[in-house]
Amino acid sequence: MAGSVELYGLAVGLMIAVVTAPVGVSGAVFLLPVQLSVFGVPGPAVTPTNLLYNVVAGPGALLRYRRAGLLNSPLTRRLVIGALPGVVIGAVVRVFAVTGSTVFRLLVAGLLMPLGLWLIARTLRPAPAASAAEPSPRTITGLALAVGIVGGVYGIGGGSILGPLLAGRGMPVSQVAPAALASTFATSAAGAATFALLSLTGSGGIAPDWHLGLACGLGGLIGGYLGAYLQPRLPETALRLLLGVLAASFGALYAVQSLR
C-alpha cells in the first residue's frame, strides 16, 4: 500500500506541475489539499513536505526557463532577495504559533480566491494604461517579503500569490513565471533548511513525509519541465486566465474544506 501512495503522489505531482509551471506556480499550493484530505499528512508536517516537493520539482521548469534565457532578470533578483528572509520568519511562526489546519485553510482561501477573481476580471476587462502601471522595485521586494512569510508558514513557495499580483498589475506572465518559480525554489530550500534546524529543538510533528514529498517532487520535476516547454506556445490571455482560474478554484476548495 505504501508503494501505491508514492505512485499516486508521483502522478499527482506531475499533473499539477504541467498545468501550473507555465504561469509561474510550483503547484505546492494545489498539492496541499491533496496532502491533507487524500494522503492524510498530519499537522505542521504538511508544510515541510510541501517545501520538499518544491525543492525536488523546481529544477525541472527552471532548467527549461534557463535554456530560454528567462531567468537572469532584475525581477528574479528582487523576488529572491525579498522572499528569502520572509520564509525563515514564516517557518518560525508555523512551528511556534500556527499549527491548526482550519485556520491555515481559511487564510489560504482568503488570499487565493480574491486574487484569482481579480486577475480574471483584469484580464477580461483590462484597466486603462495609467492604472495598470507596473509596481516599483521597492514595492516588488516588499511584496516578496510578505509572500515569503506566508510561504514559510504554509509551504506554498509564494508563486501562487506573486503570480496573480504581478500579472494583475500589468506584468507579462512570460516574465513573471520564471522569476516566481526561481523565488519559490530559493525560498523552499531555505524554508526546508529552517524546518530541519527547528526540528532539533524537539518540537514535534514538523518532519516532512519524506517518501511522499520525494515522490510528488519527482512527478513535479517532470511535469514542470513539460509545462515550461508549453508556456511560449500559449497566448498571454490564456495564461492569465489559467492563473486566475487556478487561484480562485483552489481558494474556493480551501474555503469549503475549512467549513467541514
Nearest to 86 by CA among 207, 184, 208: 184
Domain of residue 181 covers 2-258
**How many domains are contained in the chain?**
1
Contact 71, 77 (CB under 8 A): no
**Ordered per-residue pLDDT tens for the chain, 260 residues:** 456 888 888 999 999 899 888 988 878 777 877 777 777 776 667 778 888 898 999 999 999 999 888 888 899 999 999 988 988 888 788 777 765 667 767 777 887 888 889 889 888 886 554 455 678 889 999 999 998 887 777 667 677 788 888 888 888 888 899 999 999 898 888 888 877 777 776 555 667 778 888 999 999 999 999 999 999 898 989 998 988 898 888 788 878 877 76
pTM of the model: 0.81
Question: What span, in angstroms and rounded, lies between the C-alpha atoms of 38 and 28?
Answer: 15
